[in-house]
Amino acid sequence: MVKSPATEKAWEVLEEVKDPEIPVLSVVDMGIVRSIEATPEGLQVVITPTYSGCPAMEVIENEVRQALVDGGFGNVEVRSALHPAWTTDWMTESGKQKLLEYGISPPQHSTVDKSVLTGEAKHVVCPNCRSTNTRMQSQFGSTPCKALYVCNDCLEPFDYFKCI
Amino acid sequence: MTSKEALYHYVLKMGDSSLIMGHRLSEWTAHGPVLEHDIALTNIALDYIGQARMLLTYAGELEGKGRSEDDLAYWRDAAQYRNSLLCELPNGDFGQTVVKMFLFDAFQVELHEALSQSPDEQLKAIAIKSLKESKYHLRYSRDWVLRLGDGTEESKIRIANGLEAVWMYFGDLFAPSEGESVLVSDGIVPETASLRKRVEETLRKTFEEATMAVPDFDAVMQEGSQRGIHTEYLSYILSEMQSVTRMHPGATW
């Protein structure tokens, strides 16, 4: 990606736009912002949905546009692209750390599609006591991207960010 | 028929199926057997509707008459809908719902897998995105078929009755959309027979593992969805879904 002062500033602005469902993560941490390009017509931003049914996407699109306009960018075009499909591998390391501190167990490294069919991800970390002795309670949680887990050691129920 | 027109019908079938499947499943919201599964069913319904939005948006583009996802969803009557019959069936009890989901998800995983190779860029992108979700859906519904099928006396009866109630609609999942043969010969979409074989394999394995009677794959099945002939259930779900839009056309808030 070509970096220019304008696009670098835009990335900085978007670091401050939080995911409405997970307010500790920015849309950049989430890997939702795919590219920012400065063109003579204005700034072109490409975002990608996490889950196709994620109701937060429209809010995110509006907030991204608003933040850039407020940040002094005149013409901003925000476009949504499906391809390549979003994966939890795009979440930044600092994003994963912030998630854990917030109380959501972050997704494991490297998405292996087959793991979805063969069994749950191993070593899901309890955000309360950091034990990996945890069990899945339900594959579906409070938002499309999360599953419900319980820690066998400290008995804390928690959200796990699913790998896709 | 041009390839583009045929693709419109194909994508419309997919979009309508996901929309009706999702809308029907959302009836479980706040009625789930336990909180975890209330949340799970609602999440899956949301995924189906999200997929429907991508598909109906694309169908509108292919049609080229300026119709949006909302125009297609809210301003067509039952006879213009092309969803598979299975999707519109009532939920019944939890056993019937999960077995219906299982048939649909087994079909969706194979379809999305095949379309992930399609030379049509947009259909391919939608399929790759949807496949990640379909696998989660299949894992959920398959687990429940196993648990209920190999469960208690009561659960065995419930799931067997559920399967019996929906089985005659299984074949309609594979009913070719208008002009589908053009797309198959152009290599844009998978050929039905091989797709069906793979889906039947998933079903056979799962029902055997669940110690259930494997249904007759050669049974005479209901069909008609691709000619707009639906069960009596579709017009009711549509009238509920469309009532506000039709009462207040163009309303915004």
Here the CATH number for the domain that contains residue B90 is 1.20.1260.10
Q: Does B39 touch chain A (CB under 8 A)?
A: yes
In a domain, B139, yes or no: yes
Low-confidence ranges of chain B (pLDDT < 50): none
pLDDT for A114 equals 44
In a domain, B253, yes or no: no
Q: Which residues of A touch B113 (CB under 8 A)?
A: none
Number of domains in chain B: 1
Indicate the residue of A141, A142, A144 with minimum beta-carbon distance to B47.
A144
pTM: 0.89
Minimal-distance CA residue of chain B relative to A112: B132
In a mutational test of the A interface, the residue from B14, B29, B35, B39 whose CB has the highest number of chain A CBs within 10 Å is B39
Q: Which residues of A touch B133 (CB under 8 A)?
A: 51-53, 164
Q: Which residues of A touch B33 (CB under 8 A)?
A: none
Minimal-distance CA residue of chain A relative to B130: A52
Nearest residue to B223 (alpha-carbon basis) of B111, B86, B105: B86
Which of B24-63 are b and which e, b meaning 16 or more Cβ less than 10 Å from the residue's Cβ?
Answer: bbbebeeebeeeebbbbbbbbbbbbbbbbbbbbbbbbbbb
pLDDT for B224 equals 96
Q: Does B37 touch chain A (CB under 8 A)?
A: yes
pLDDT for A56 equals 81
What's the Rg (C-alpha) of chain A? 17
Pick the CATH number of A5-86 from 3.40.50.2020, 3.30.300.130, 3.40.50.300, 3.40.718.10: 3.30.300.130
Q: Which residues of A touch B51 (CB under 8 A)?
A: 52-53
A85/B125 Cβ within 8 A: yes
Indicate the residue of B22, B43, B121 with minimum beta-carbon distance to A140.
B43
The DSSP string of B200-241 is HHHHHHHHHHTTPPPP-TTS-----GGGT---THHHHHHHHH
Its domain, for residue B73, covers 3-247
Minimal-distance CA residue of chain A relative to B54: A52
Express each pLDDT in B200-227 by its tens digit.
999 999 999 999 999 999 999 999 999 9
pLDDT for B184 equals 97
Count of Cβ atoms closer than 10 Å to residue B74 Cβ: 16
Interface A-B: count of C-beta contacts within 8 A: 79
Indicate the residue of A52, A84, A139 with minimum beta-carbon distance to B54.
A52
DSSP state of A78: E
Q: What would the two tokens of residue B236 be?
A: 């009711």
Interface predicted TM-score of the whole assembly (ipTM), two decimals: 0.76
CATH 3.30.300.130 domain locations along chain A:
5-86
Q: What would the two tokens of residue A106 be?
A: 């972050």
Alpha-carbon distance of B3 to B108, in angstroms, equals 23
pLDDT for B118 equals 97
Strand partners, A18: A26
pLDDT for A2 equals 56
Alpha-carbon distance of B87 to B49, in angstroms, equals 12
Q: What would the two tokens of residue A3 be?
A: 């970096």
Minimal-distance CA residue of chain B relative to A84: B125
Alpha-carbon distance of B90 to B240, in angstroms, equals 14
Dihedrals phi, psi of A104, to nearest 5 degrees: -115, 125
Contacts of B118 (CB under 8 A, 6+ apart): B124, B127, B188, B189
Which of B5-20 are b and which e, b meaning 16 or more Cβ less than 10 Å from the residue's Cβ?
Answer: ebbbbbbbbbbbbbbb
A51/B136 Cβ within 8 A: no
Instruction: State the 10-residue block means of pLDDT for chain A, 164 residues long.
Output: 77 91 89 91 90 82 93 89 88 90 83 47 84 89 85 94 83
Minimal-distance CA residue of chain A relative to B55: A52
- How much of chain A is in helix, strand and coil states, percent to nearest 5? 25, 25, 50
